[in-house]
Structure 1
């Protein structure tokens, strides 16, 4: 099971920690909690369709894109720009959302393209 999130950031380099925010009632949260792991798949600029797949409530998402299990068993998208595979580190109540902190246990860059960006309700290309 996967989800598109709009709040993701680095927390610490030592130890390597990242976080994302997810609604308390999300159907994805119980899966992450039980697995005690997740992967942040960073999408490339040509993957807006993949972003939309994971933003819907339709399931199963992973039947629509290629993926493989990472070290923790969390799915890594085959064609993602890069990934951060994480073990669940801590969860903080953040109002109607949970702040989910993960310790990075593996990471990789799989493509040499620009990242997918989202601004003002649309996907844009970054000119670097």
Structure 2
């Protein structure tokens, strides 16, 4: 019976993943300087939470090997990726040590790393974390932002990258 229940759970997880892929999202990179080198990861689980205080959230898989390193930084740079950054996004999601190869970035004095050609930069401090099942929900307080409204965002929909198209 336990094997059948596990199979049903795996089937339900796959069905839920497919269902949620119908919700288009932007893609965000969370990055910081750690021991003088950029460390980062990409994710599509990002949302605004509060204006007072200014909070956003990201969700990080508990299996992530990058988050335990990133969370040691006082400040994180969140870059909402631009439409032309799908290759960079894939590298940031990989286990490769060359995640920042051919991607241009800049570091703030605080240690936050921001990616060039993004549509939005947010410099954030960790505010709180909440248990989110197989993910950790991280609340971040926004301490600075810079907008690039002429850069179209990268969109993730049905497990593929897309660009916004004028209608």
TM-score, normalised relative to structure 1: 0.90
Deviation at residue 71 of structure 1 after TM alignment:
4.7
Q: Does 1:69 align with 2:107?
A: yes
* 1:120 to 1:49, Cα distance in 2 relative to 1, 3 A: same
Q: Does 1:121 align with 2:151?
A: no
Q: Is the 8 A contact 2:78 2:121 kept in 1?
A: yes
Structure 2 equivalent of residue 30 of structure 1: 68
Matching of residues 47-126 of structure 1 within 5 Å: 47-110=85-148, 112-126=150-164
* 1:80 to 1:88, Cα distance in 2 relative to 1, 3 A: same
Query: Which consecutive unaligned segments of at least 5 residues does structure 1 have?
Result: none
Query: Which consecutive unaligned segments of at least 5 residues does structure 2 have?
Result: 1-38
CA distance in 1, matches of 2:101, 2:86: 17
- Of the structure 1 ranges 89-98 and 64-73, higher mean CA displacement relative to structure 2 is found in 64-73
Q: Give a deviation string over 1:30-76, Cα, whole Å, max 9, x none.
A: 12321132121111111111111111110142243121112531111
- Structure 1: which 4+ aligned runs deviate by more than 2 Å? none
Q: What is the alpha-carbon root mean square deviation over aligned residues?
A: 1.6
* 1:79 to 1:125, Cα distance in 2 relative to 1, 3 A: closer
Q: Does 1:40 align with 2:40?
A: no
* 1:45 to 1:66, Cα distance in 2 relative to 1, 3 A: same
SS in 2 for 1:106: strand
Larger radius of gyration: 2
CA distance in 1, matches of 2:77, 2:148: 14
TM-score, normalised relative to structure 2: 0.71
